[in-house]
């Protein structure tokens, strides 16, 4: 098969969560174990860091990958979903995996695929582990796909586990309370393996403490260890002043990820680095400061308050649930613009009412959808939005909506595209 034919096989043959939603989720690790067993368990040949959470795990993963790369370690990075290119999911030192490897791996695994019928995600996890093993990496940063306890990535035994935060997302799969979701995310906590919790809530803290005690795992709550004392958002840079509470010393970190929600991710990353240094990883503070200033460049991360045009400004952000959109709204409060244009499309299994309720009513809206089965119809979205006093026009695809927004906008206006990772991924730029 050619690379194009291989992707067609992957996307059409295997159940894919982005396309069909919960039907693609398999609540056990049987297939992942079988796939990895067939290729001699590559996940046992490299060290790793495992990251779960409702929001922020993608940014945290890329920030840590940038730090290890800057320190000179050969670094694997597995994340999902991709925005433009399937190979974004599997990178070594910021470079996407080879097309030939993808083709060869699928051809090799095809007989087993036909027998066990794995999901798209189960297969790509095994693919990533094989690629990292072949590349003889020093460490892999592994982001969970969904949940943690039964996530396909949860067959690794990492150096460190990280849980960024807990919010009400994927409640049809993970549970309808914060405690239930926290329990699923806490499933990545391993025996005798330290865990860093980025943010906790009253409802979730004890869940993490109980699981860590059960696994004899040291637990560290980053929000209690650090305080962000100030931040300054400037164009293409976010300066964050952070104090480690037990030292009472403030340090400034300049991030090229400019979303103000990075003020939460940075303390998670700093505590992760603190624990990793105690294990012998050579990632001192000068390396951390340098790495976070160029994480987009080093890792190729896009879609996090990403500016793709000036005058008018066009911003892409993959925020797609209540917590993520709340952070976008906070960012807007710290951003100067004349008029606000919001291009939005969402998938059907999110809490759409809760998102629409918090969106600004003084914006001009462009309702659209990603070209996937899970996407909510743009007409239905627009009609629902009217109930929340959000008004605008309807567009079949995001690029037509963006074209119209540019025609409508003055040079001092801001155009924001948000609501779905898949919608952002379809923007042409």
CA–CA dist 5, 181 (Å, integer): 38
The mean per-residue pLDDT over the stretch 11-34 comes to 69
Measure CA 15 to chain center: 20
Q: How many CB atoms lie within 10 A of CB 167?
A: 22
SS3 of 196, please?
A: strand
* Contact yes or no for 275/162 (Cβ under 8 A): no
pLDDT digits (tens, 9 = 90+) for 81-118: 899 999 999 999 999 999 999 999 999 999 999 999 89
* Contact yes or no for 359/390 (Cβ under 8 A): yes
CATH 3.40.50.10540 fits 306-425, yes or no: no
Dihedral sign from CA coordinates of 318, 323, 325, 330: negative
CATH homologous superfamily of 3-299: Mur-like, catalytic domain (3.40.1190.10)
Percent of the chain with pLDDT over 90: 83
pLDDT digits (tens, 9 = 90+) for 390-412: 999 999 999 999 999 999 999 99
Band (27; pLDDT cuts 50, 70, 90): low
Give pLDDT, residue 14: 77
Cα angle 177, 181, 184; round to 5: 145
Q: Which two tokens stand for residue 281?
A: 């990883």
Q: Where does CATH 3.90.190.20 sit in the chain?
A: 306-425
Give pLDDT, residue 25: 52
pLDDT digits (tens, 9 = 90+) for 334-346: 899 999 999 999 9
Q: Where does CATH 3.40.1190.10 sit in the chain?
A: 3-299
Measure CA 108 to chain center: 29
Q: Give φ, ψ of 21 to 5 degrees.
A: 75, -140
* pLDDT at 143 exceeding the cut of 70: yes
Ramachandran area for residue 240 (φ above 0: left; ψ -120 to 50: alpha; else beta):
beta
Q: How many CB atoms lie within 10 A of CB 177?
A: 13
* pLDDT at 24 exceeding the cut of 50: no
Give pLDDT, residue 169: 63
Among 407, 387, 402, 302, residue whose Cα is nearest residue 345: 402
CA–CA dist 28, 22 (Å, integer): 14
pLDDT digits (tens, 9 = 90+) for 207-254: 999 999 999 999 999 999 999 999 998 778 999 999 999 988 899 999
Band (170; pLDDT cuts 50, 70, 90): low
Band (21; pLDDT cuts 50, 70, 90): very low
């Amino acid at each position: 098969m050619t690379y194009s034919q291989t992707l067609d096989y992957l996307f059409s043959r295997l159940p894919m969560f982005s396309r069909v939603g919960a039907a693609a989720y398999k609540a056990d690790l049987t297939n992942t174990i079988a796939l990895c067993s067939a290729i001699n368990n590559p996940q046992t040949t490299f060290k790793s860091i495992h990251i779960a959470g409702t929001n922020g795990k993608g940014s945290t993963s890329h920030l840590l990958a940038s730090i290890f790369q800057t320190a000179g370690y050969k670094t694997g990075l597995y994340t999902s979903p991709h925005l433009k290119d399937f190979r974004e999911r599997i990178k070594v030192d910021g470079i996407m995996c080879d097309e030939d490897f993808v083709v060869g791996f699928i051809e090799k695994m095809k007989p087993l695929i036909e027998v066990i019928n794995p999901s798209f995600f189960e297969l790509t996890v095994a693919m990533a582990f094989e690629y990292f093993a072949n590349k003889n990496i020093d460490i892999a940063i592994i982001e969970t796909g969904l949940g943690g306890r039964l996530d396909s990535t949860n067959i690794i035994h990492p150096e460190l586990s990280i849980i960024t935060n807990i919010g009400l997302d994927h409640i049809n799969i993970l549970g309808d309370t914060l405690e239930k979701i926290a329990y699923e995310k806490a499933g990545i906590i391993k025996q005798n393996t330290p865990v860093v919790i980025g943010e906790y809530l009253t409802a979730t803290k004890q869940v993490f403490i109980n699981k860590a005690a059960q696994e004899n795992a040291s637990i560290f709550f980053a929000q209690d260890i650090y305080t962000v004392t100030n931040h300054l958002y400037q164009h293409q840079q976010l300066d964050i002043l952070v104090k480690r509470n037990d030292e009472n010393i403030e340090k400034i970190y300049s991030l090229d990820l400019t979303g103000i929600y990075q003020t939460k991710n940075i303390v998670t990353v700093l505590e992760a680095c603190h624990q990793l240094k105690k294990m012998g990883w050579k990632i001192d503070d000068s390396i951390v400061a340098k790495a976070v200033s160029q994480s987009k460049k080093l890792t190729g991360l896009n879609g996090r308050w990403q500016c793709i045009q000036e005058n008018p400004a066009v911003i892409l952000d993959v925020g797609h649930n209540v917590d993520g959109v709340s952070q976008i709204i906070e960012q807007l409060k710290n951003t100067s613009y004349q008029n606000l244009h919001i291009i939005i499309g969402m998938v059907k299994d999110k809490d759409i009412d809760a998102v629409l309720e918090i969106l600004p009513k003084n914006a001009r809206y462009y309702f659209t959808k990603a070209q996937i089965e899970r996407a909510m119809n743009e007409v239905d979205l627009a009609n629902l939005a009217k109930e929340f006093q959000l008004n605008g026009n309807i567009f079949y695809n995001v690029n037509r909506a963006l074209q119209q927004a540019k025609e409508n906008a003055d040079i001092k206006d801001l155009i924001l595209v948000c609501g779905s990772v898949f919608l952002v991924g379809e923007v042409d730029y």
